[in-house]
Chains A and B, each alone.
Chain A
Amino acid sequence: MGDLQATTGDNLIEVRDLHFQRGNRLIFDGVDIDIARGKITAIMGPSGTGKTTLLRLIGGQLRPERGTIHLEGNNIPRLNRTELFAVRRKMGMLFQSGALFTDLNVYENVAFPLRVHTQLTEEMIRDLVLIKLQAVGLRGARDLMPSELSGGMARRAALARAIVLDPQLIMYDEPFVGQDPISMGMLVQLIRLLNDSLGLTSIIVSHDVHETASIADYIYVIADGKVVGHGTPEQVMNTDEPRVRQFIRGLPDGPVPFHYPAVNYRDDLLLGA
C-alpha cells in the first residue's frame, strides 16, 4: 500500500482518528483519510459502510464523537453555525438524487447559490449560469422543471449548481448509481474534465469499481468502520488484502460472508423434523 501520510502539505482535507456512531452501531472506528489538493480521491466500500456519512461529516452536517476533520486549518466539527456556513461556500456537493429544488426550474436552480451569496447583476448571473449549463450540456434545458428531467440530466443539472460558485472542493455521493451506460460515461468524463479544468479537488463516494477506478487518482477502501486499504487504482486493484480483494473483484463470498449469521445449517433443518 502507498504511504500517503508522508505528503501532508498538499492535502486539502485531513481526517484523523475519526469515530462516529449512529445509535448503537459504530460507523467509523478510527479512520484517517487525506484528500490531496487538485486530485480525484475515491472512497469505496460495500453498501452501508458509511461512505455517505463521511461526506456529511466533511460537510459538517453531522458531528463525530471523536477525531478531527481539517479543511485548510478549519477543524470542521468545532466550527459554529456561522463559520460552518462560510466554509460550506468553498464546497460543492452532488447528492445521490440530485436534490434539485422542485419548485424552481433548471436555470433558477443553478442561479440559486449566486442569488443568495453574491450581489451580481442579473446579466452576470445569466452569463455564469449559461456557462455552467453549457459545461454540463444542458443549456437548452434551462426552462425545464426538475420533474421533466431524466435521472442523468437531473444529476448533470445538480452538478452545474454545485460548481456555480467555483468551489475548491466538490463531493460526489454515488454519482453512478442508476445511470444508463451513456450518461454514466458522460458523468465519468465530466467529473475528470471539471476537476482538471477548474482546478478542483474532488471526492467520489461510490461502489462502482470500474468507473471509479478509471478516473480516481487515489482510492480508499472502507469496511467495518476502518480504512482497509488505500493506494493508486493499480495498487488497490492488485492488492493482497482479502477484504479489498473481495470488494474489487466482486467475489460473492470471502471476509464479507455470503450468509447472514445463522445457526448450523444441518441443525436448523433437523429442527423441523
Chain B
Amino acid sequence: MLNFLQRLGLNGLETLTVLGRAGRFWWQALWGLPDWRNGPRLLVRQLYFVGVYSLVIIIVSGIFIGMVLALQGYTVLVRFGADQALGQLVSLALIRELGPVVAALLFAGRAGSALTAEIGLMKATEQLASMEMIGVDPLKRVIRPRLWAGMISMPILAQIFNMVAIWGAVAVGVDWLHVDTGSFWSNMQSAVEFREDVVNGLIKSVVFGAVITWIAVFQGYDAVPTSEGISAATTRTVVYSSLAILGIDFLLTAVMFGVN
C-alpha cells in the first residue's frame, strides 16, 4: 500500500516536471523579439512543410467524410421527410465539430509525427548542439517557426477540409440523391451563424494547431537521442495529441455551445 502510494507520488512528480519543462520550453520558444531578417523566410519554409504537405490527406479525407455524412444523414432524414435539412446537418456538423477535430487528428498524424522525427533526429545527430555552439538559439531558430507554422496552417487546413467536405456532401446529397438544391443551400445559409459557428470552429482549430505542434516539437526536443527514443517519441506525439484534441474539443464545445 505504502509502496503504491510512493509510486503514485513519484509518477505524479515526474509528470508535473515534464509538464513544467514543456511549458517553459513553449514559452521560451514562442515569445521574445521577432527575427525580422530570417524569421519570415524560415516561417514560410515551415508553412510549406507543415501546411502544404498536409493538403493532400486533408482534401481527400474531407471529400469522403462529407460524402459519408450526407449519405448517413439522408437515410435518417428522409424517413421523416426532412431531407431538405441535409444542408443544415452537414454544415453544422462540419463547421462546429468534424472540420476542426478530424483535420486536427489528420494533421497530428501527418505533420506532428514528421516534426517530432525531424527534431529528434536533429538532436541525435548533434545538429541542435552544434547550432547552440555556433551561438544560435535552436529554440528561436528551429522551434519557433514550426510552432507558428502549426498555429497558422491548422485553421486554414480545417477550413479547406470544411469546404471540400461540403462539396462532397453536395455531390452525394444533391447530385446523386436528388435533395433539392435550393433548400439544401438556403437551409445551410440560415442555420450557420458566422460568430457562433464559423468563428468558434476557427478558434478550435487554432488551439488544436498550437497544442499539436507544441506536443510534437517538445517530444522531438526531449527525445532520447537513439533510434528507439525517436520512434517512442513519434508514437507519443500521435497518441498524446490525439487525446489532447478530443479532450480539449469537449471542453471548448462545453464553453462555446454549452446549454445556458
Contact = CB atoms under 8 A, between A and B. Distances in A.
Contact of A93 (B38, B122, B130, B136): B130
B36 to A, nearest CB: 13
A61 B127 contact: no
B125 interface: yes
Interface in A125-184: 158, 161
Contact of A99 (B38, B130, B135, B137): B130
A88 B133 contact: yes
A86 B135 contact: yes
B126 A99 contact: yes
Contacts of A91: 133
A85 B125 contact: no
A161 B134 CA distance: 9
Contacts of A88: 132-135
Contacts, number: 47
A61 B134 contact: no
B135 A61 contact: no
B129 interface: yes
Interface string A83-123: 00110110111011101111000000000110011000000
Contact of A116 (B125, B127, B135): B135
Contact of B134 (A96, A102, A116): A116
A77 interface: no
A251 B110 CA distance: 53
A140 to B, nearest CB: 24
A161 B127 CA distance: 13
A59 interface: yes
Nearest to A90: B135
Interface in B110-146: 122, 125-127, 129-137
Contacts of A95: 126, 129-130
A117 B135 contact: yes
A93 B135 CA distance: 11
Contacts of B129: 56, 61, 95, 99
Contacts of B132: 59, 61, 88
Interface in B20-46: 38
Give the 4 A-B residue pairs with the shortest CB-CB distance, closest first. A99-B130, A99-B126, A95-B126, A88-B135
24 contacts: A56-B129, A61-B129, A85-B135, A86-B135, A88-B133, A89-B135, A93-B130, A95-B126, A95-B130, A96-B126, A97-B125, A99-B125, A99-B127, A99-B129, A99-B130, A102-B122, A112-B134, A113-B135, A116-B38, A116-B134, A116-B135, A116-B136, A117-B135, A161-B134
Given A85-B136, A100-B127, A112-B134, 5 more contacts: A59-B133, A102-B122, A102-B125, A113-B134, A161-B134
